[in-house]
Structure 1
């Protein structure tokens, strides 16, 4: 965090000093009970309690409160600041702090692919820049604001994942992040329980157009049908498309699975020229993510050949189509980070394309937060399984049964379709199926905690092998 004199912040938070010195410098900001409080921290007491003890070890802290009588353990070096509303004071401080910096900010949203795309951009830029970015897929609204405090005078650029689970959340994040470059990776169906309809969910994702402002740049996935249908008539900024479509500004062709290198070969065509590219990790969706990352990096001044070269050493987030040696010599594909219909289609493609003659087994868990769209979206998944010619389907959970019924309806062999409701049933069935001739995809949500299932399926190293 950039160090700031306390007197400069008092008008921002509309605070009045009740006791202690104002001749202090703020070197850290923290919410009491949520963040580490260090020396010279500006501490926001968000909870109004009858008794609020202060940390004993931190020195020269400055406490912002609307209930000063509740403070306990107030040492002589503590400055007490009264505000009428601590939460509003905190948000005013965050907004002021963000306004201190002029730097490129990239915002990424989408039903799937946003975490990987954000991580790719961050990896590419970090070779040249000091980059602040959201951690993994931790993009809750309250947490996002804290990332801004990582920005200081040494920061060159920032990349923020902007997820939504309800109306107006994207613009809320944008108010503080202030991205000038926005990316929409895909718009499918996910977290829809917080919306009145699928159209409302789509409209929320589309607010990235407003988020980047009238003079901003938006990067859109040309291959996504919903994104292609977005109304851009009122957007006055710059629109750039990426994808395999012939009209994309950043276009990929000659996409191939490279099983020897564990990734995807492709050719990128753009205004600057034509380039051979490679992205670690399987699936055409990873090529799409790579195109978005390369395009975004070029918009902040990185040369495209440098972005392509840097991308070759990218490491994927854990449990994003991660390959393991499975039990009984099987091949295990771990895609348990999250699940939705769009990412399931991508995972099934990887399962089939990397099988190399093995029997393909798709273990698909329930998709959460779909509300009244649950049955129809699970049926869409069943149709995908049948279309991809997967050999064995195992749907986990009672709500996943429509996956089975739809797959059977569309011609999949009923004897190869299973619906299990317990982990023991799942493990027993997989133990029967596992062999060196079997490739198993585990595609479930991390919120369902399949960690023990995964551990049971990964091959145990022999005693004379190093772990």
Structure 2
């Protein structure tokens, strides 16, 4: 965080000093009970409690509260500032802090692909810039202030993943981050139980158009039907598309799997010209993420040739279609970071395209947070499994049974369909199927599925 004089902050908060010194320098800001409180922190008490102890192991903190009677044992080194509404004062501070910096900020949202796209952008920019970014897929609202306060006078740009699991959450994040460039990677079905309907979920993702402001720029996935059909009539900013469609501003063609280099070759056509490009990792969805990242980097001033070169050395986030040597010499594909119908389709494509004659086994876990849409979305997954000609399906979890039923309807032989509910069942079955001629996709969620299944399946290195 940029160091700030308390005397200035008090005016921003519209506060009144009840006790303590105002000749302090603030070096951190925190919500009480949510963020780490360090020495010389500005601490916002947003909950009115009858008795609230202040941390004893930090010094020179400044407390902002609308209920000073709740404080216990206020030391001499603690400054107490009274405000009429602590939450509103907090927002005023956040807005003020963000206003201190004029830098490019890129926001990324979508049902899937947003973490990889964000990481690609950060990787490209970080070659010559100081970049602040959200960590992995940790995009919960409580973390927003932490990321914002990483911005200081040395920061050149920022790229933030903006996830949603309920109404108005995207605009809540936008209030902090103020992106001028927004990316929508894809809109499928995920985290939907927090919404009234699929339409409400789509509308929430579309709020990226509002988030970037009237003069902002949005990069939209032209190949995603829902994104392509978003209503842009009220948006007055700049709209750019990426994808394989001929009308995309950042377009990929001649896409191919490069098994020797473990990635995807493609030709990029963009306003700067036409280029041969490569992205590590498999799948046409990975090319789509790369197009968004290259487009965003170009918008903030990176030469396209430099961006393409930097992208070649990108390393994927753990458990995003990572390849391992599995049991009995099998090929194991780890895509256990998260799961939703859109990412399952992408993973099944990779399973098929990299099998090279091996028997394909798809281990697919139940999908979380679908609410009333659970059965229909699991059925869609079953239809996809049949369509992709998977040799063996193993569905994991109680909610996954519709996957099996729909796969059977799609033509997958019943003897090739298995439904398991325990890790022991899964490992026994995979031990029977594994061989050097078997390719196994593990596509389950990191949150609810068996946490150590992957470790049990990866071949252990032999000791000398």
Q: What band does the TM-score fall into relative to the shorter chain? A: over 0.9
What is the SS of the residue equivalent to 1:451? coil
SS in 2 for 1:128: coil
Q: CA deviation at 1:432?
A: 0.6
Where does residue 162 of structure 1 map in the other structure? 162
Q: Distance in 1 between matches of 2:196 and 2:48?
A: 34
In the TM superposition, what are the counterparts of 1:150-229 in structure 2 within 5 Å? Answer: 150-229=150-229
Q: Is the CA contact (8 Å cut-off) linking 2:39 and 2:60 kept in structure 1?
A: yes
Distance 1:214 1:27 in 2: 33
Give me the whole-angstrom Cα distance separating, in 1, the residues matched to 2:437 and 2:231. Answer: 48
Q: 4+ runs of 1 displaced by more than 4 Å?
A: none
TM superposition score normalised by structure 2: 0.97
Which SS does the other structure have where 2:149 is aligned? helix
3-state SS in 2 of match to 1:319: coil
Cα RMSD over matched residues?
Answer: 1.3
Q: Say if 1:56 and 1:73, in contact at 8 Å, map to a contact too.
A: no
User: Secondary structure of 1:201's partner?
Assistant: helix
Q: Give CA-to-partner distance per residue, 1:61-96, whole Å, 9 cap, x none.
A: 212223333333432222111223333322221111
TM alignment of 1:254-293, pairs within 5 A: 254-293=254-293
Aligned residue in 1 for 2:30: 30
Paired residue secondary structure (2:69)? helix
Q: Pick which of 454-463 and 355-364 moved more.
A: 454-463
Alpha-carbon displacement from aligned partner over 1:140-197 (angstroms, at most 9, x marks no partner): 1121233111111111111111111112211221122111111000011111111111
Which residue is equivalent to 2:4? 4
Contact preservation (8 Å) 2:34, 2:142: no
226-235 or 364-373, larger mean C-alpha shift: 226-235
Distance 1:57 1:201 in 2: 43
**How far off is 1:107 after superposition?**
0.6
Alpha-carbon displacement from aligned partner over 1:189-220 (angstroms, at most 9, x marks no partner): 11111111111111111111111111111101
SS of residue paired to 2:261: coil
Q: Distance in 1 between matches of 2:9 and 2:85?
A: 15
Which residue number in structure 1 is paired with residue 405 of structure 2? 405
CA distance in 1 between partners of 2:390 and 2:308 (Å): 33
Cα contact 2:268–2:276 (8 A) shared by 1: yes
Aligned to 1:58: 58
Distance in 1 (CA, whole Å) between partners of 2:66 and 2:402 is 53
Structure 2 portions without partners, runs of 5+: none
Q: Which residue of the partner structure matches residue 427 of structure 2?
A: 427
Query: How does the TM-score come out when normalised to structure 1?
Result: 0.97
After superposition, where does 1:258-407 map in structure 2 within 5 Å?
A: 258-407=258-407
Whether 1:49 aligns to 2:71 is no
Determine the C-alpha separation between the residues in 1 that align with 2:287 and 2:410.
Answer: 30
For the Cα contact (< 8 Å) 1:219–1:240, is it kept in 2? yes
The residue aligned with 1:86 is 86
- Count of paired positions: 464
SS class of match (1:306): helix
Corresponding residue number in structure 2 for 1:247: 247
Q: Look up the SS of the partner of 2:93 in the other structure.
A: helix
